[in-house]
Structure 1
């Protein structure tokens, strides 16, 4: 029994020595075993640092993506450039503006005639055939008036009257109903396109018959340099010369209804629950220094600014035609220049400038 005890004691001593050896050989293992809490805290710190680094990386990435998106948007955004120059008119393309004159007119075509004596006081490219824009409505009004159609007849604006040529707008919405007289008033005074188209559409025989009648009337009046394809003037294919237009103004001036409506300063029309105010496109009709008997303005880019008038100046009844004027108010300025010149001119004075030109459509 004592022998067994000695063996057990020796075995315990051997195990103790072995444990001591392991402790000396691997000191970190014992420390790790003694401080598990410290290890857990350290792990949390490491995890927190990793989270911070991950967040910073995510922010940098997000900033990079945002910058990329902003750059992409900048690349897609339209670059602001100088406004494109306006389309050249037919007169500019034909070089008609290169013809100078003593009055320094801004219109490339001009004609001034004494209505009573038929004396030509001023002419500049007066046989050049150009688009005439809304001067067309003077022929439209003449035909409607001469047809003696009932002016109180209601006419409704339809989709057919909407401008598909230039995409211009109108306060006369589809479904609006006005009398023929009101539509004629708006067409001549404020150059209302839908009104003019509705007048042609409701002419006996319809629009086709109306356009045929326009051209027949032009031939009857001796307007050999004129052509019409629709009643508004939105089409650049409606063309004429200053010489022909002076003839049209002379005839139209003989119609009291056209004189009254074309020189009206303004007019109100009731559309549903609304009252619409329309004004004359020619501000000279409101001027006390002018005595205008008939007028019509016109503009599309192909025609430039246009104006025809019958007016009394210095005791003389004059017919004035200005086509293809280069500025918004320059046609009115040309009329003022001519009036001033006529008031100062000596008897027998006249100006004739420029050769005929016929630009292609």
Structure 2
């Protein structure tokens, strides 16, 4: 029996090494039957073989995927080189610029002007007559200073100064006594309505006389679209246009105290024996990137968010008026867009001047 098995083994080896290759189809059938028999004998081994077959089946797909990706990259590269030069070099507008290179501002009405020359650099709806809210306080300050009233005189915040129109809050309680100078500072810096009301109420002749003086001042400055009804801006009847406000900001910039108080970042005030710090409503006055000469913010529902500034840009005094901005940060973001736009224009001008200037 052992001799028979040995002879069969030798014959099998001889057939594998010396006989011609068998038909591929027959070999496949024999391989399949062998796998089936192995699976019957050992389920664990069958599972192992199946896993190995799966791995082998997956491996060849990797080079194919890589080749297709390479093909796409080569095709894209080819198309890029094949595209006309004009198409490849076409300028793409920045996200905050229009096709003409002007900033896309989100304020409903605005004007940006060169204060030195009076030339208007950018405008939209600049003649629209709109409520101006606390921008009013710039005129309040000018009328107070024009009257040459004592800045050291102590004024009392009374019940008449409480906002009953909009029920707005205040950090200045009734009964507070402050010098007129501090009232002026709080009105301009922190837009304190009670301080602005006290300033108007303590004018010779009272608040009606003060409002009349505000409107006379507006007429003297040539502000044809501007009218005032109170000293705070809480009344929506206080209206103006962006064009008029450029003139009003320019006039306010001639008052040293308005420049100082409207751009003070913060200021501590003693209120009834307790020190409280007041902050500027315009965060840009604290930014090292800005050199601001005059600043005033404003907001009531009818006006939206407003911001006016005199700022030094391109080494020039520029006036920025932004009215009816929707959203908490829109007016500041618009001011930043204006700044980037002006600085970008300056860079282009410098490059153009360098090209025109012959080398020596």
- Shared fold (TM-score, shorter chain, > 0.5): yes
| Deviation for aligned residue 1:171 | 1.9
Tell me the distance in 2 between the aligned counterparts of 1:297 and 1:254: 19
Query: What residue in structure 1 maps to residue 259 of structure 2?
Result: 259
Tell me the distance in 2 between the aligned counterparts of 1:173 and 1:344: 47
Tell me the distance in 1 between the aligned counterparts of 2:176 and 2:148: 23
Query: What residue in structure 2 maps to residue 146 of structure 1?
Result: 146
1:328 aligns with 2:328: yes
More displaced 10-residue stretch of structure 1: 169-178 or 228-237 = 169-178
Query: What residue in structure 1 maps to residue 32 of structure 2?
Result: none
> CA offsets, 1:91-124, max 9 Å, x none?
xxxxxxxxx9942211011100001011100011
> Equivalences for 1:154-233 in 2 at 5 Å?
154-233=154-233
> CA offsets, 1:15-41, max 9 Å, x none?
xxxxxxxxxxxxxxxxxxxxxxxxxxx
Query: What residue in structure 1 maps to residue 19 of structure 2?
Result: none
- Indicate the SS of the match to 2:319: strand
Query: What residue in structure 2 maps to residue 301 of structure 1?
Result: 301
Contact 2:314 2:346 in 1 (8 A): no
Contact 1:133 1:299 in 2 (8 A): yes
Tell me the distance in 1 between the aligned counterparts of 2:175 and 2:337: 44
More displaced 10-residue stretch of structure 1: 198-207 or 268-277 = 268-277
1:110 aligns with 2:77: no
| Deviation for aligned residue 1:181 | 0.4
| Compared CA separation, residues 319 and 158, structure 1 to 2 (3 A) | same
- Indicate the SS of the match to 1:257: helix
1:292 aligns with 2:292: yes
1:137 aligns with 2:144: no
| Deviation for aligned residue 1:273 | 2.3
TM-score (norm 2): 0.68
Tell me the distance in 2 between the aligned counterparts of 1:183 and 1:151: 9
- Indicate the SS of the match to 2:172: coil
> CA offsets, 1:33-72, max 9 Å, x none?
xxxxxxxxxxxxxxxxxxxxxxxxxxxxxxxxxxxxxxxx
Tell me the distance in 2 between the aligned counterparts of 1:136 and 1:346: 33
| Compared CA separation, residues 251 and 347, structure 1 to 2 (3 A) | farther
Tell me the distance in 2 between the aligned counterparts of 1:317 and 1:346: 14
> Equivalences for 1:36-75 in 2 at 5 Å?
none
| Compared CA separation, residues 119 and 348, structure 1 to 2 (3 A) | farther
| Deviation for aligned residue 1:346 | 5.9
Tell me the distance in 1 between the aligned counterparts of 2:211 and 2:331: 28
| Deviation for aligned residue 1:316 | 1.9
Tell me the distance in 2 between the aligned counterparts of 1:194 and 1:127: 31
| Deviation for aligned residue 1:281 | 0.3
Tell me the distance in 2 between the aligned counterparts of 1:234 and 1:106: 24
Query: What residue in structure 2 maps to residue 10 of structure 1?
Result: none
CA-based RMSD of the aligned residues comes to: 1.8
Tell me the distance in 1 between the aligned counterparts of 2:318 and 2:219: 24
Tell me the distance in 1 between the aligned counterparts of 2:147 and 2:238: 22
- Indicate the SS of the match to 2:312: strand
Contact 2:134 2:234 in 1 (8 A): yes
- Indicate the SS of the match to 2:259: helix
The count of residues paired between Structure 1 and Structure 2 equals 251
Contact 1:227 1:239 in 2 (8 A): yes
- Indicate the SS of the match to 2:342: helix
Contact 1:189 1:261 in 2 (8 A): yes
Contact 2:109 2:125 in 1 (8 A): yes
More displaced 10-residue stretch of structure 1: 285-294 or 308-317 = 308-317
| Compared CA separation, residues 245 and 347, structure 1 to 2 (3 A) | farther
Tell me the distance in 1 between the aligned counterparts of 2:224 and 2:289: 35
Tell me the distance in 2 between the aligned counterparts of 1:107 and 1:347: 26
Contact 1:109 1:323 in 2 (8 A): yes
Tell me the distance in 1 between the aligned counterparts of 2:344 and 2:315: 12
Query: What residue in structure 2 maps to residue 75 of structure 1?
Result: none
